[in-house]
Chains A and B, each alone.
Chain A
Amino acid sequence: MSAWLLAAWYDLRDLSGISREITEWVASWGPEWLASAVSGAIGAIGILAVIGPTLMILIWTERKVIARLQVRYGPNRVGPRGLLQPVADAVKLILKEELVPRAADKWLFFLPPVLVFIPALLVWGVLPFGPHMQVADLNVGVLFLLAVSGTNVLAVFIAGWASNNKYALFGAMRVIAMTISYEIAMVLALLTVVFLTGTMSINGIVLWQQQEDLILIVLLPMTALTFLLGATAELNRTPMDIAEAESEIVAGYHTEYSGMRFGLFYAVELANTLVMSAFMATFFLGGWWLWGLDAWVPSWIILLVKTSLVYFVFIWLRGTLPRLRIDQLMTFCWKLLVPAGLLFVAIAAVERTLLLEYAWDRTIALPVMAVINAAVTVAVIGAYARVTGAGAHRAPAGPRMARGRLGGLRAARQLAQAPSGSD
């Protein structure tokens, strides 16, 4: 039976209990393949039912949070506190004229908006929402994640190529150069996790964290950082959004797209970010598990909270940092993340073997390893800073941001109310 079916849940609040009853009802009169297909369809509908509304909320959240970080108001006109802004956006995009450039490759031009969405939805299938709450618990889950999320690049390149626009093609080429560079860093990060946990099943990685009573970000800080930055690059988000740098190449690969097709490109960015937050939470923050709290609170709520935390970090990065140049990004990836990734793969392999060969007390051995890894992380970042000449001496002595009365929305309001020249 399907993994989605087996959910042993103790609570009416849990959704998988309902799904199990439906599937068992189908199995009572129908053939087995139908029951299996029904359980798969329930999983798929469940995932889409979560993602669709979440995307609408995220559009508002992202704009609002970034606005607050940048001392603006953000959307506040449509509905209470601008909450209906995403609906207004969707209506506007659906009713907008869709332009197809004369020079574009007509058939290829229509494909990417749909193609780009598929990996963003498909990888949810291997994400465990609970002990047995998973559409497909593959024993090669990590490889599936890497393979499927990697196909995103193809859709983007089709978009850039088919537009027959120089800006679009440049954007697409930049996406490919950056994505494949950071993909190496991400693969190495996940390889480190697999080396330490000894399993490629994503649920297995969560179970390992549960068994060792330890979240992996404590044990592998550098790897978690690599994954976070690699994800940021793969999502083309600021500070790594050179693919759609407005000041250089208009909108990058979706320059020629308008109307709802542009809307899909916009939505897929959020969907991908949500996916990466969820996987970051699963790999490094313990997923659905939280020191026994998962026995009292539905596991998917725990995962949701952790995902939101990671998502906030993504928004925070976007709202705070300026865009980097492509050579800076490449240097950062190939000269820090990849060598450090290789180093940590070796370290994780050695640690795993030590744990297997010697019957050490794990409650002592793992914290010791965590301290060693943290020390190596600091040393590696320090060495990188020294080698590339970005030493601490170049950093400004103190923050140059406006502070105190001049910082924040409240100060802005006060300034607006105060008579001019008083400050």
Chain B
Amino acid sequence: MLEQYSHLAILLVFAVIFPSIPLVASWAMHQLRVRPRIPNVVKEDTYECGVETEGPTWVQFNFRYYLIALVFVLFDVEVVFLFPLAVALDDVLTFGLVAGLIFIGVLALGLVYEWKKRALEWR
């Protein structure tokens, strides 16, 4: 099994090199003075609709993003608990199935609660 992961590590090295090639090519073109690099004040400005950008960018964000993230964490963690059961169903059979169904039922109950609390509305 460890050998399999080592192959993935080799693939990871290649996956870093592959997207670097065009970047290096672009950089080399710059070194060869084929690619222009003439910065000025206006070019280096933050992109905005023609006027200079106003105030800091990293501002407070709308609360609803936070809510979605919370719901996501809950569901993702709970769903990950179901993966082992899915693989082990051959051994636990009906008993495990009932336990799993109760777990899914609780999850569904949570979803219904969020629905009723209007946490799923994007407003």
Contacts and interface: CB of A to CB of B under 8 A. Distances in A.
B47 A260 contact: no
Q: How large is the interface on B (under 10, 10 to 19, 20 to 34, 35 or more residues)?
A: 35 or more
B26 A177 contact: no
Contact of B75 (A41, A114, A261, A338): A338
A121 B15 contact: yes
Interface string B70-100: 0110011001101101110110011001001
B46 A256 contact: yes
A313 interface: no
Contacts of A125: 7-8, 11
A103 B80 CA distance: 40
Nearest to A165: B46
A47 B101 contact: no
Interface string A73-99: 000000000000000001001111111
Given A94-B26, A97-B38, A181-B72, A43 B7 contact: yes
B42 to A, nearest CB: 10
Interface string B28-56: 01000011111100011111100001000
Prevailing SS type, chain B contact patch: helix
A350 B97 contact: yes
A59 interface: no
Contacts of B11: 40, 43-44, 47, 121-122, 124-125, 135-136
A184 B72 contact: yes
Main secondary structure of the interface of A (DSSP, over half): helix
A36 interface: yes
A52 B68 contact: no
A143 B101 contact: no
B115 interface: yes
A117 B15 contact: yes
A281 B37 CA distance: 45
Contact of B23 (A113, A173, A183, A200): A113
Given A135-B7, A339-B111, A118 B16 contact: yes
Given A166-B53, A184-B75, A335-B120, A37 B6 contact: yes
A317 interface: no
B107 A342 contact: yes
Interface residues of A, number: 90
Contacts of B75: 184, 338
Nearest to A329: B122
Contacts of B3: 2, 36
Given A97-B38, A256-B46, A183 B18 contact: no
Contacts of A102: 44-46
Nearest to B22: A260
A180 B69 contact: yes
Contacts, number: 230
A350 to B, nearest CB: 7
A118 B7 contact: no
A184 B72 CA distance: 7
Contact of A331 (B4, B107, B108, B122): B122
Nearest to A114: B19
A154 interface: no
Contact of A96 (B35, B39, B82): B35
Which among B36, B58, B83 has the highest number of chain A CB atoms within 10 Å?
B83
Nearest to A140: B83
A52 B34 CA distance: 25
A117 B18 contact: yes
Interface string A356-378: 11000000000000000000000
A357 B94 contact: yes
A100 B115 CA distance: 44
B68 A256 contact: no
A31 to B, nearest CB: 13
A135 B84 CA distance: 24
Residue among B61, B82, B107 with most chain A CB within 10 A:
B82
Interface of B: 1, 3-16, 18-20, 22-23, 25-26, 29, 34-39, 43-48, 53, 57-58, 61, 64-65, 68-69, 71-72, 75-76, 79-80, 82-83, 85-87, 89-90, 93-94, 97, 100-101, 104, 107-108, 111, 114-115, 120-123
21 contacts: A44-B11, A47-B11, A94-B22, A94-B25, A94-B35, A100-B44, A118-B16, A118-B19, A124-B11, A164-B46, A165-B47, A165-B48, A165-B57, A173-B65, A180-B69, A180-B76, A181-B72, A183-B72, A334-B114, A346-B101, A349-B85
